[in-house]
Chains A and B, each alone.
Chain A
């Protein structure tokens, strides 16, 4: 955890703010089409302080940050207010002036480590470029030495060797270290970190942010930290600024904001943040709970997986290939009406398991029993029938619906494929399903691109439920959604589970979501399940070191919430 919180820079209250933003307004588009997205933001960052701007997508948090370094995308323009850095106005600064401020006075760590390094140049070249551009060293040797120093500082121990490597030879975490190195190369007074770790696994995120915190503390750098994750902001920042729809709704010391949020929006955000919650979302249908438990005890598991193995052959060039075990002897059971979460970091094989369960990938070896029947014994006709009882919901809300078909057509497609009812009956079922996922009927005639991510995910759920399946496989189904929307969808899923007795296989990388959404959890690492049990057991006393590491890496774990 950040020690900065415990040792706020003494005297910060009396000193002048390093960054002073007053009444900042930003618009996109020109002429009649101009649209204001930031409506008058006031913000101070004091020397040595870490301030986090928290908000959902479209809240204007990134726009505010990029306005500071004059890197607004596209037609973006500052239309009002002032931005002062150490008393120098940045809004009126010319291009030349900004170029000398960027890098030297303000460092920037971008969001996506995959696309922010140029793939055709070596890492060394790109760091040296930053060193040279900021005039930190001249002459080949000095520049090179400084570049190595920068990378070493960023935590790449064997920097000399790494200098010659290219971005594709670096892992996501290593790339982000290189970018942090570039951002801090010139010892800037202010570092802007725009969702620096949202593309990384939690354990990597933790290591990188710890390192970033110790670096900036050492040098007394102020940090403006942009994130969507309230828990992460609480861990890392002295002060939190909550933004919504281009305005600041609440700001203050981190602990105060989390423990005593005043604005209704902040209260909802705090309540919805899975990293801060501690309880399973319970559906309203409590009375039926008793029945369910009995059923669970007596009935056979709906999904049973025994020693499941998936091997891919990786081409080595030419005709040679080596086997690669993506899934290595996985076993689990899911009782009826329960949710099993399969958790793991990228490359753990969790999605491959989901695809095998869905019959989208063949099984190399092992048994897969669905409702007591071995899938490998099934005829094609049986598999077709099975598909109506088991449906997926995928991660990407923008890719999971065919953009050329109307919503009504999409939701009715499963019914048409399986020949259920006539046109009129299908229409009625579509309306019923839309109602079940709390969407208006009129949507049936609309197209997916008119909907938000959360609404598309509702449509995907409605479609999955069309054939009244007993099993739904949720493959990172809420990972791409904003916190409040995610909370809504998780509640909807819990309600539907209670109402329809659904069994969920929930694939996710986010342990925080597991706690609120699952009954059972299986932790995967490198194709194997390292630990499994009930959510309460695993969260209370994880037995394996890997599980412990994962749990500790959940941001906001240290914050004790009064409301929970």
Chain B
């Protein structure tokens, strides 16, 4: 075929079937693909193991330690800031409590507050974002401006104010979770709004309305599920941030009174940082690892559900 006018015909192979159905071995959709992508990544399993470990410690602290973390007789002032000894692997705190026991029991409050605050923030964010995007017009303008106002308020500052205002006896896990979650939903709302606006344009939404499905049902059945992937990512990362927020509030002394918490322990241990740095180190490490596990999990899930970032790897 080197000549300009030659007619070249390739050797004829077996007849090709037009648009033959070629299927992979297993059914696949966004979430199944994401799962297949995640399960081969060691980092995913490490973070999952850490999250599970912390969760088990939060639910069943007695599995890990037999010493009470607080209360009458738990403290041995003679051992204030003492080093490790048999049965007390991490030594003692300033007030003579067992550090390991306080770490294990502190996981509960961190996780509960973190989970509740995230759930509250996510629910508010999803509802606000979805309503704004789906109904549009005046409601959109109104909800978006409200979101903008909340966006300008640093949630940690807002939570400090709320917790300072609430009298000590009324401070509960729920109040704390509301104080954090109630001021951290704005970014979720923005993301949901953008996603719903995108998904709303899809032909399948038009098709299901043409089918006779009501607008509200269409939103719940077809639009929202397709807008959830980034929300789950933001929520996992937000969970880590909420745990930090709880620790911060406890550290500042505006957290929950009379509970064992990593933040409170860090706050107390900093007084004797020169003489007993390990009492400060252990709760800080627990906090860092837990938050890191959640944030890593969030980012891995984001990579797995976002086909664009997957293609680049």
Q: Which residues of A does B touch, CB under 8 Å? A: 12-13, 17, 42, 44, 46, 49, 74, 239, 244-245, 247-253, 256-257, 262-265, 268, 358-360, 384, 387-388, 390-392, 394-396, 399-404, 406, 413-414, 417-418, 439-440, 442-443, 445-452, 454-455, 460, 463, 484-485, 488
Contacts and interface: CB of A to CB of B under 8 A. Distances in A.
A399 B208 CA distance: 12
Nearest to A243: B10
B207 A392 contact: yes
Interface string B1-14: 11111111110100
B204 A253 contact: no
Contacts of B21: 439-440, 443, 451, 455
Given A485-B18, A488-B19, A263 B10 contact: yes
Interface stretch (B25-33, B179-187, B248-256): B25-33
A240 to B, nearest CB: 10
Interface of B: 1-10, 12, 15-16, 18-19, 21, 23-24, 27-33, 201-204, 206-213, 222, 225-226, 311
26 contacts: A12-B4, A42-B1, A239-B4, A244-B16, A249-B10, A250-B7, A250-B8, A256-B7, A264-B15, A360-B209, A384-B212, A390-B210, A392-B210, A394-B206, A395-B203, A400-B202, A400-B207, A402-B208, A404-B29, A414-B212, A417-B212, A447-B28, A447-B32, A449-B29, A450-B28, A463-B207
Contacts of B16: 244-245, 265
A446 B27 contact: yes
A399 B204 contact: yes
A488 B18 contact: yes
Nearest to B10: A249
Contact of A392 (B5, B30, B206, B311): B206
B226 to A, nearest CB: 6
B43 to A, nearest CB: 20
Contacts of A418: 212
A392 B311 CA distance: 33
Contacts of B7: 250-253, 256-257, 262
Nearest to A20: B2
Given A400-B203, A402-B222, A445-B27, 17 more contacts: A42-B1, A44-B4, A239-B4, A252-B7, A256-B7, A257-B7, A263-B9, A263-B10, A360-B210, A399-B201, A402-B208, A406-B27, A442-B23, A447-B28, A448-B29, A449-B29, A485-B18
A74 B308 CA distance: 12
Given A249-B10, A250-B9, A399 B203 contact: yes
Contacts of A268: 18
Given A49-B4, A392-B210, A404 B30 contact: yes
A239 B2 CA distance: 13
Contacts of A451: 21
Contacts of A460: 207
B10 A250 contact: yes
Secondary structure at the B interface, as helix, strand, loop or mixed, is loop
A244 B212 CA distance: 42
Contacts of B203: 394-396, 399-400
A44 B3 CA distance: 8
Contacts of A406: 27, 29
A439 B10 CA distance: 31
Nearest to B225: A404
A406 to B, nearest CB: 7
Contacts of A250: 7-10
In the A-B complex, list the 9 residue pairs whose CB atoms are closest, starting with the nearest.
A252-B7, A447-B29, A394-B203, A400-B203, A387-B212, A262-B9, A399-B202, A454-B19, A249-B10
A46 B5 CA distance: 11
B15 to A, nearest CB: 6
B118 to A, nearest CB: 23
Contacts of B209: 360
B22 to A, nearest CB: 8
Given A396-B203, A400-B207, A13 B28 contact: no
Given A12-B4, A450-B24, A403 B206 contact: no
A257 B201 CA distance: 42
B206 A450 contact: no
Contacts of B202: 399-400
A358 B210 contact: yes
B4 A13 contact: yes
Contacts of B27: 406, 445-447, 450
B29 A403 contact: yes
B204 A452 contact: no
Contacts of B201: 399
Contacts of A359: 210
Contacts of B32: 447
Q: Which of B6, B10, B30, B225 has the most CB of A within 10 A?
A: B10
Contacts of A17: 2
Nearest to A245: B16
Contacts of B222: 402
A359 B244 CA distance: 51
Given A263-B9, A264-B15, A387 B30 contact: no
A401 B10 contact: no
